[in-house]
Structure 1
Amino acid sequence: MKVSALTPALLGLVASVQAASSIEYSTVSGYFLQDETATDPSTFDYTAVNFGLINRTYPADQKLKHNGKDLTQWERFYNQVQELNKKAGKDVEYKVLFLGRHGEGYHNAAESFYGTPAWNCYWAELDGNSTATWSDAALTPNGVNQALIAHDFWQKEIKEQRIHTPDNYYVSPLTRTLQTANYTFTGLQLPHGSAPFKPVIKELLRESISIHTCDHRHSKTYIKDLFPSWRIEDGFAENDQLWNGVTEETSAAQDIRSTTVLGEIFFSSSGKDDTFVSVTSHSGEIGSILDVVGHRTFSLNTGAVIPVLVKAEKVETNARAVVTSATWTVNPHCTVPPVTSVSACVCPSSAAPVTTPLVTGF
């Protein structure tokens, strides 16, 4: 795709995503280790600490038989969230978001191989190399294993903790997240009466949209062929309307996008009864969601999952004060493999940086 092929309408779509202007989000802390500043994200292992759920009593325990002593921590926590929703007004809703990062993709492995500086300014703009393809990257064998670890841990929690499994499942449209959700949730022995694993694929849950080809999704037809029984949200375009290989969204633009998709998850037709929500996404998008809901920065390793209790409240908002768009940026990159150092990328003197795509993509 040439720069001249980008129409004003497409550039407007890239630069602006409408925000859910009347909902404010906040993290309800005190329930998970990941909420606490003392917890180190780099060493956090969700499988070793019950998804991070803190062993404690809840105010809602008092309404349970024997104060809930016969129930597991997750059963009592679920009851606590239900009580929060019962006591909340019609304009307030509590949900637990299980934020899962995809397993290792071929783009992750390539970045480790080339080093981040060289990856960002040259290799990431290609479809792949002679041994691997990373445009809309698939999972590596290690990434598949990470998703299977999540599968086994969910099954363990179902058996031992009698955890309430997700009422709704949402997935990014990129291949690595689709595969991760499939390996994680397909085949689980769900408790009787649980919502089945029938995920909804949502465009706005995708990774931070950069000029990297790993952020360029396949067509709707391709996705439908991969998982024909999964639901693709209404309005999902056949071809990627956001990635162009020239401009990339800023953090401000991504936070607007995340606010929008949260507005589609909260106050939905399912109402307050659907309190546990699975979101299979990406490191950058999960970081943006955490920022929007007021959670502290918490980086996830590939394949990791953290739950967060979120309060959403409808508020009266002056429409003029709501930011609904943010400028995207152009990112120059090398046309041949760069000369790199540990902390920077330098294009060879014979190859000036360009702002046009190096590949055409799908």
Structure 2
Amino acid sequence: MRLSAITPAILGLVASVNSYSVTYSTETGYFLQDESSTDPSTFDYTAVNFGLINRTYPADRHLKHTHEYTQWERFYHQVQRLNKDSPSSVEYKVLFLGRHGEGYHNAAESYYGTPAWNCYWAELDGNSTTTWKDATLTPAGITQALKAHTFWQKQITDQRIHTPDAYFVSPLTRTLQTANYTFTDLSLPAHATKFNPLIKELFREGISIHTCDHRRSKTYVHNLFPEWRIEKGFSEEDELWNGVTGETSAAQDVRSTTALNEVFFTDEAKKADAFISITSHSGEISSILRVLGHRSFSLSTGAVIPVLVKAEKKGRDSVPVSSTSAAWEVSPHCTEPPVTSVSACVCPSSAVPVTTPLITAI
């Protein structure tokens, strides 16, 4: 089946007669990552309380003995107050955007260099020593996810942070593993929502011709974590990846908007569920931030940033409608290892760049 024939149906981009649009914005002034002075390359979420700024809030006046509350408790109260005082068409949620830990594809890209990776090696399933198709976590990646686990537990114990009311995770293996290492077996307060994530197709990485973006079957995903929920309509095989065309940034932003619409207004969403965890990927988190109007903020592998989001729906209640679909594009690549690739990929003279999938035998 041709990708162009299935993409609009899968992404749910066909508008209904009774539909509404959603406008997203970021509420700044709460987190260091919102500020232009914060350098993403040196940002360590574990050293700065997830980036939460030490400040007072308008909602503090509704609390007695404010000094007895932690910064995170007062911030949660502020978010709850924003929702209470807003019309039904407006919702505020805090999205904890977590990037997966280092995968074998990340290690391979570092080894070969980005130009050579993009134009040849990423189109293979792996090399003689490792596999990176739908890559799993490296030992370093597992350590990064466990670092997040330890920090969440510290925040729960010391800051009495309100843990996520809902969990979403990309269906690619590295994100499934990261979410598992991060959230399983946390010691949660009695009132907290238990970790039982919803596996959501549209939160996967930007879909390129790279085999690391090719997800495995629904059966595999279910067998990996059988107690986790998989969203309705999740196909047995990957219907989005074809090894020939890839998403543009515009196309990915359409997909991210659709996913956010579902999280905020249609996907088991409740206004009271103010804290949301999304375990995803660097490219997809960048896309989400663009949709939210947030400044660009690159996350290192395993890192997490929260963002306070305002969502306002306009129009009649029924089905949220995203922007119209955007075209995908082909990516020429080498059929043999490149000759040079320090700053650009140069294919051997006998290997003219092609736009068809490589034979991926290991």
TM range (shorter): over 0.9
8 Å CA contact 1:167–1:276 kept in 2: the answer is yes
How far residue 272 of structure 1 moved from its aligned partner, in angstroms, is 1.1
How far residue 322 of structure 1 moved from its aligned partner, in angstroms, is 6.6
Q: What letter matches 2:264 in structure 1?
A: F
TM-score by length of structure 1 reads 0.94
Per-residue CA distance 1:311-332 (angstroms, 9 max, x = gap): 0000139x9x973111100001
| Residues in 2 aligned to 1:254 and 1:303: alpha-carbon distance in whole angstroms | 22
How far residue 14 of structure 1 moved from its aligned partner, in angstroms, is 3.7
How far residue 360 of structure 1 moved from its aligned partner, in angstroms, is 6.0
Q: Secondary structure at the match of 1:56?
A: coil
Q: Secondary structure at the match of 1:42?
A: helix
| Residues in 2 aligned to 1:64 and 1:340: alpha-carbon distance in whole angstroms | 63
| Residues in 1 aligned to 2:280 and 2:137: alpha-carbon distance in whole angstroms | 13
Kindly indicate whether residue 34 of structure 2 is the aligned counterpart of residue 35 of structure 1: yes
Q: Residue 316 of structure 1 corresponds to which residue in structure 2?
A: 315
Kindly indicate whether residue 318 of structure 2 is the aligned counterpart of residue 325 of structure 1: no
Per-residue CA distance 1:133-169 (angstroms, 9 max, x = gap): 0000000000000000000000000000000000000
How far residue 15 of structure 1 moved from its aligned partner, in angstroms, is 6.6
| Residues in 1 aligned to 2:106 and 2:189: alpha-carbon distance in whole angstroms | 35
Q: Residue 6 of structure 2 corresponds to which residue in structure 1?
A: 13
Kindly indicate whether residue 292 of structure 2 is the aligned counterpart of residue 306 of structure 1: no
Q: Secondary structure at the match of 2:146?
A: helix
What are the within-5 Å matches in structure 2 for residues 107-122 of structure 1? 107-122=105-120
8 Å CA contact 2:40–2:298 kept in 1: the answer is yes
8 Å CA contact 2:257–2:322 kept in 1: the answer is no
Q: Residue 154 of structure 2 corresponds to which residue in structure 1?
A: 156
Q: Secondary structure at the match of 1:211?
A: coil
Q: Residue 82 of structure 1 corresponds to which residue in structure 2?
A: 80
Q: Residue 46 of structure 1 corresponds to which residue in structure 2?
A: 45
| Residues in 2 aligned to 1:282 and 1:339: alpha-carbon distance in whole angstroms | 30
| Residues in 2 aligned to 1:146 and 1:90: alpha-carbon distance in whole angstroms | 39
Per-residue CA distance 1:258-313 (angstroms, 9 max, x = gap): 00000110024442110000000000000000000110000000000000000000
What are the within-5 Å matches in structure 2 for residues 261-272 of structure 1? 261-268=259-266, 269-272=268-271
How far residue 340 of structure 1 moved from its aligned partner, in angstroms, is 1.9
Per-residue CA distance 1:178-236 (angstroms, 9 max, x = gap): 00000000010011110000000000000000000000000000000100000000000
How far residue 339 of structure 1 moved from its aligned partner, in angstroms, is 1.4
| Residues in 2 aligned to 1:339 and 1:32: alpha-carbon distance in whole angstroms | 45
| Residues in 2 aligned to 1:70 and 1:335: alpha-carbon distance in whole angstroms | 64
| Residues in 1 aligned to 2:85 and 2:183: alpha-carbon distance in whole angstroms | 32
Distance 1:322 1:177, change over 3 A: closer
| Residues in 1 aligned to 2:289 and 2:203: alpha-carbon distance in whole angstroms | 13
8 Å CA contact 1:41–1:299 kept in 2: the answer is yes
| Residues in 1 aligned to 2:354 and 2:7: alpha-carbon distance in whole angstroms | 20
Give the alignment's Cα RMSD to 1 decimal: 1.6
Q: Residue 349 of structure 1 corresponds to which residue in structure 2?
A: 349
Q: Residue 286 of structure 1 corresponds to which residue in structure 2?
A: 285
| Residues in 2 aligned to 1:340 and 1:328: alpha-carbon distance in whole angstroms | 28
How far residue 39 of structure 1 moved from its aligned partner, in angstroms, is 0.2
Q: Secondary structure at the match of 1:23?
A: strand
Q: Secondary structure at the match of 2:38?
A: coil
| Residues in 1 aligned to 2:348 and 2:314: alpha-carbon distance in whole angstroms | 54
| Residues in 1 aligned to 2:161 and 2:38: alpha-carbon distance in whole angstroms | 23
| Residues in 2 aligned to 1:153 and 1:306: alpha-carbon distance in whole angstroms | 13
| Residues in 2 aligned to 1:167 and 1:15: alpha-carbon distance in whole angstroms | 30
Q: What letter matches 1:193 in structure 2?
A: H
8 Å CA contact 2:124–2:360 kept in 1: the answer is no
| Residues in 2 aligned to 1:18 and 1:27: alpha-carbon distance in whole angstroms | 25
| Residues in 1 aligned to 2:234 and 2:62: alpha-carbon distance in whole angstroms | 45
- The number of aligned residues is 351
Q: Percent identity?
A: 72
Q: Secondary structure at the match of 1:45?
A: coil
Kindly indicate whether residue 267 of structure 2 is the aligned counterpart of residue 274 of structure 1: no
| Residues in 2 aligned to 1:253 and 1:360: alpha-carbon distance in whole angstroms | 27
Q: Residue 201 of structure 1 corresponds to which residue in structure 2?
A: 199
Q: Residue 93 of structure 2 corresponds to which residue in structure 1?
A: 95
Distance 1:84 1:101, change over 3 A: same
8 Å CA contact 2:45–2:51 kept in 1: the answer is yes
TM-score by length of structure 2 reads 0.94
Distance 1:131 1:351, change over 3 A: same
| Residues in 1 aligned to 2:171 and 2:223: alpha-carbon distance in whole angstroms | 13
8 Å CA contact 1:15–1:249 kept in 2: the answer is no
8 Å CA contact 1:18–1:325 kept in 2: the answer is no
Q: Secondary structure at the match of 1:22?
A: strand
Distance 1:230 1:15, change over 3 A: same
| Residues in 1 aligned to 2:269 and 2:262: alpha-carbon distance in whole angstroms | 11
| Residues in 2 aligned to 1:107 and 1:92: alpha-carbon distance in whole angstroms | 40
Q: Residue 58 of structure 2 corresponds to which residue in structure 1?
A: 59
